[in-house]
A and B are shown apart, each in its own frame.
Chain A
């Protein structure tokens, strides 16, 4: 490996270095697990990839990055995701 000449555009971003977009959220999606059928539609549809699957296949939302767009609540066939107003 040679030393690269200066000026090669490479970045070494750390977690959250370009902003924790969860702070943008006005409405917070909350999953009611009693209604969840593990269909994973919310997982597939989440535009920001902030929904992960737990080992037991239940979806889990990463609130540090979820912008609260509400797509998951729209696509949930059992209306298990409720958009709740953020209260600080």
Chain B
């Protein structure tokens, strides 16, 4: 496919995702407001009102109903979208498992936000990370451009015949949702050829079936096994779709992980989401002083890219994993995955937990932690309080 130069716009994260959704032409949208996602669904309502997006917009009474309604529409063959955050995602949780287990192609954006109690509307990844077992593909963006790109790709991935799984696109609340950045958007015709109309239904109206039936144990466990295999298959599909998108957009899409100066690095910081940008700055500053450091950014969290993480990190002298979510009684969620990836390899893995409830984390914090790691003075788990 040919690269056509996109149009440059100045967009806040929510509007960039709304723009991507408009171009993906979903037929049914469910809208329910929650900070910091609300302005995205407001923008989509505006597109529908102005006739720029021909979609049925359902104003539901809760997040649970939001996903329930588009679940039904998606089963019947529609392309669907909704967005939520924080407590809303928790309220949606029951339907998340229904959609994942039923293997319904759905795209949902999550503007990540802290969980109560105590109350907070600011950014961390606790909501997003707590949904890691819901049989959803989970991807996370670093900046507004990536949020736009991943949203477009999410529709392709979700509807791919070897995948057929719902996809959750996470991007940091406020830090990305409400920050205006330079975004290069694709032409509508390019998106049209990248995401053709949805080809299949789960159900055929001339040959009725029951959806989500009771399953005896021997069927149930087989369906879970198939879902596991679909997740594993999706790794290849995601990489192919990223590569194809790279071709049409001219922007590097890396893969399940992005390696920034990490190939020859002795010490690597691993992160996910918006603060990967801060980690980049920290890495650049340390490189200027001759330190061999790098960044490994996880773009796809489910399915987790164990092979890639292992390949990039196994010869490191030290790894620092940044977590914006925590499994209480266990540890940082990302650091645990990285440790699993490195099982059998003698690489010290340290954990940096921070940013919870919107706590500001700056490049200097990351730089200091990396310096301490190189000096052998970093504790196994450090909280940025």
Chain A residues in the interface with B (C-beta under 8 A): 1-13, 18
A9 to B213, CA, bound (A): 7
**26 residue pairs bridging A and B, Cβ less than 8 Å apart:** A1-B204, A2-B200, A3-B161, A4-B103, A5-B162, A6-B226, A7-B222, A7-B224, A7-B225, A7-B227, A7-B229, A8-B102, A8-B223, A9-B103, A9-B211, A9-B213, A9-B215, A9-B223, A10-B202, A10-B203, A10-B210, A11-B213, A11-B214, A12-B209, A13-B210, A13-B213
Per the bound structure, the CA–CA distance linking A13 and B214 in Å amounts to 11
> Chain B residues near A1 (CB, 8 Å)?
199-201, 204
B163 surroundings in chain A (CB, below 8 A): 5
Chain B interface extent, by class: 20 to 34
Contacts A5-B161, A12-B209 supplied; 17 other A-B pairs, CB < 8 Å: A1-B200, A1-B201, A1-B204, A2-B199, A4-B200, A4-B202, A5-B226, A7-B222, A7-B223, A7-B229, A8-B103, A9-B102, A9-B219, A10-B209, A10-B211, A11-B213, A13-B213
For residues 186 through 217 of chain B, which have their beta carbon under 8 Å from a beta carbon of chain A?
A: 199-204, 209-215
Q: In the bound complex, how far is the Cα of B162 from the Cα of A2, in angstroms?
A: 10
B273 interfacial contact with A, CB 8 Å? no
* Given A7-B222, A9-B101, residue A2 in contact with residue B212 (CB < 8 A): no
In the complex, which residues of chain B have a beta carbon less than 8 angstroms from the beta carbon of A6?
Answer: 226
Task: Give A12 to B211 CA distance when docked, in angstroms.
Answer: 9
Q: Which B residue sits closest to A13, measured CB to CB?
A: B210
Which residues on the A side are within 8 Å of B223 (C-beta)?
7-9
Cα of A11 to Cα of B163 in the assembled complex, Å? 20
A-B CB pair tally, cutoff 8 Å: 59
CB-CB under 8 A from B204, the residues of chain A are 1
Is B140 part of the binding interface, using a Cβ–Cβ cutoff of 8 Å? no
Complexed CA–CA distance, A11 and B200 (Å): 18
Question: Looking at the complex, which one of A7, A11, A12, A18 makes contact with B103 (CB distance below 8 Å)?
Answer: A7
CB contacts under 8 Å to A, within B205-262, are 209-215, 219, 222-227, 229-230
**CB-nearest residue of chain B to A6:** B226
Given contacts A2-B161, A13-B210, A13-B213, contact A7 B226 (CB under 8 A): yes
**Bound form: Cα–Cα A8–B199 in Å:** 17
CA distance A18 to B223 in the complex (A): 20
How many whole Å from B165's CB to the nearest CB in chain A?
9
Task: Specify the chain B residue showing the minimal Cβ separation from A7.
Answer: B226
Asked if residues B200 and A10 are in contact (CB atoms below 8 Å), the reply is no
- Chain B nearest CB: distance from A29 CB in Å? 28
> Contacts of B201 on A, CB cut-off 8 Å?
1
In this complex, the member of B164, B224, B225 whose beta carbon has the largest number of chain A beta carbons within 10 angstroms is: B164
Chain B residue, CB-CB nearest to A3: B161
